[in-house]
Amino acid sequence: MNLIATAIADVLLFEPKCFADERGFFMETYRQSEFDALFASIGTKAPVFVQENLSRSAKHVLRGLHFQQTKPQGKLIRVVTGEIFDVAVDLRQGSATFGHWVGQVLSAENRLQMYIPPGFAHGFLTLSEYADIIYKCTDYYAPEDERHVAWDDANIGIDWPLAKSVMPILSDKDSRDSKLSR
């Protein structure tokens, strides 16, 4: 597995090795010992995941920007069908990159995985007709602890890949205005 840095040092991309031939392909998407070695190579401890989720979203669905306030979750995101634009926003008070964001196209085709550490808000926009996303979490989902930041918060300025005439499809929760306080 290859480790790829992003513009925010703690948000990482992983590229699994893929073995393909005329029959199809095989790839190992997660191995704790491999993650231990890759994280050790950058001087940190690998996360331990306790929960895995599967999400399906239709084209133009935008989910997020979600985070848990007192029980933050790290997430390892991968797409098994379709394509998304995945975003992480640094919410760690005192961080040099507080309020900054990083985005990456993740797809079944490019097979990239994005690790978003605890202390970040997460969101994504579905670019294909639909997308199936699997993500591992470092802590359990706690609905009473969940918060969100508006997907279009001008203080963050995410450049979502949406045509000017297209409005994303949002849940009621994600439609409520909630701005990042600096």
Q: Is 130 a catalytic residue?
A: no
Q: Of 130, 135, 141, 148, which one is the catalytic site residue?
A: 135
Residue 39, H or E segment: helix 32-40
Out of 30, 66, 130, 140, pick the active-site residue: 66
Q: State which amino acid sits at residue 28.
A: E
Asked whether 169 and 58 are in contact (CB, 8 A), the reply is yes
Token pair of 42 as six digits: 């950058």
Give the integer Cα–Cα distance in Å for 101 and 19.
33
In the chain, which ranges are E strands?
Answer: 2-5, 12-15, 18-21, 24-27, 51-58, 62-68, 75-81, 83-90, 101-107, 113-116, 120-126, 130-137, 146-148
Q: Is 66 considered catalytic here?
A: yes
Which residues belong to the active site?
A: 66, 135
